[in-house]
Amino acid sequence: MKITSADVIVCSPGRNYVTIKIETDKGIYGLGDATLNGRELSVVSYLRDHLIPCILERDPFDTEDIWHYLYRGVYWRRGAVNMTAIGAIDMALWDIKGKALGVPVYKLLGGKSRERLLAYTHAQGIDTAETMEAVAEKLEKGYKAVRVQSGVPGVEKVYGVSGEAGQYEPAVKGNKPVEETWDTNKYLNYIPGLFSKVRERFGEEVHLLHDSHHRLTPIEAARLGKELEPYHLFWLEDLIPAENQESLKIVRQHTTTPIAIGEVFNTIYDCQDLISNGLVDYIRMTIAHGGGITPMLKVASLAALHHVKTGCHGPSDLSPINLAACLHFGTAINNFGIQEYMGYSDATMEVFTVGYSFSRGYFNLMETPGLGVDINFKKAKQYEYGPAYLPVNRLEDGTLYNW
Ligand code: GCO
Ligand code: MG
């Protein structure tokens, strides 16, 4: 079998998505998600101008060699744009392999390690009262795990809280980022009270998660972890920015609240110290941004050695193709932890058809060959791309901060 051509589709059904379609001489094609929120077109150009020409004529079954060819071939290793592009190709090649053999991709990765996959969703509100209602609504829908985010009184806009009712979407269409504001002190004073009320009302059984979105210093993160201990969180996510990983030791020394990190990582080298030094409990890398299924199997193996489980990033700013790839991966590995799931807009689901189902807090994979996802080109064309940016964040005195 040979790769004969490939193209990149950019569409915006509710939000921007980038998809690669790789064709073969056997009439089988594979799909991969190449979406990098806020920097979409850089991946499009990288794929079209540089990577696609390198994979023509290759046998799509040679995923290991093709991955190394692209990873080492660039010379300038790692980086989000590079690894998202490589990840999309790798995903599409596994899709082709599954379709060619008539089996779902998970069967090629290790087979079935579980019948269904636990997912967590988001609940958010402008304050505790609204957030509690959002949690109640998700529990009524059957979710077993909920990420709880709330606005903080006195802080104008907080990460994870939508301006209007409905789904949280941080990327705003326009030609430059919107600016948000932040106050750590107000946040730290507010969040423990929120979780106390949520536990009191909803009991111990529901898994609760929270995302600090890279906004704390190590000692502030330690305080939050410690103060949240009585509420037994499933995880606290991205407490501190991930560049200075040594500093997670301070957090670890002070709290038993489980820690999740890694949605912005793109290679095993970004997480190897955190994992091997026992500084995280869940690794958040995802298939699209982590360079594909091929390297993520290695991340999962490393994590398994150190009692770390997976918790793949699965926001609605990655397409259902990435979600499907995560589900095949999560079905096949032993140390699957949980899968993020925000749901998708109706427009998105007009464009993509999926081979998974979701019910009462769990995903079930269908036995469709390959990744089990498809894209409707005619529909996709109706939703035109427009530039969108993630926000930047400033402290109340105007200092630029982490978003
Ligand atoms: C999450 C993430 C997202 C990111 C978004 C950026 O935990 O789901 O933090 O909300 O902010 O994916 O594009
Ligand atoms: Mg996050």
Considering only CA atoms, which residue is closest to atom 10 of ligand 1?
Answer: 315
Q: Which domains does the chain have, with CATH numbers?
A: 3-104 (3.30.390.10), 108-369 (3.20.20.120)
Q: Is 340 in the pocket of ligand 1 (CB under 6 A)?
A: yes
Run of H or E including 394: strand 392-395
The pLDDT score that the predictor gives to residue 163 is 60
Edge-first strand listing for the sheet containing 3-11: 3-11, 17-24, 29-33
The pLDDT score that the predictor gives to residue 166 is 61
The pLDDT score that the predictor gives to residue 157 is 81
Q: Is 35 in the pocket of ligand 1 (CB under 6 A)?
A: no
Considering only CA atoms, which residue is closest to atom 3 of ligand 1?
Answer: 315
Q: Give the position, in ligand 1's atom list, of the atom nearest the Cα of 37.
A: 13
Phi/psi at 209 (5° precision): -130, 160
User: Which amino acid is it at 332?
Assistant: A
Q: Is 80 in the pocket of ligand 1 (CB under 6 A)?
A: no
Q: Which residues are catalytic?
A: 159, 213
First to last CA, the chain: 45
Run of H or E including 223: helix 218-228
The pLDDT score that the predictor gives to residue 354 is 97
The pLDDT score that the predictor gives to residue 168 is 84
Run of H or E including 197: helix 184-202
Spans in the chain with pLDDT lower than 50? 165
* E strand map for 85-174: 117-125, 145-150, 172-173
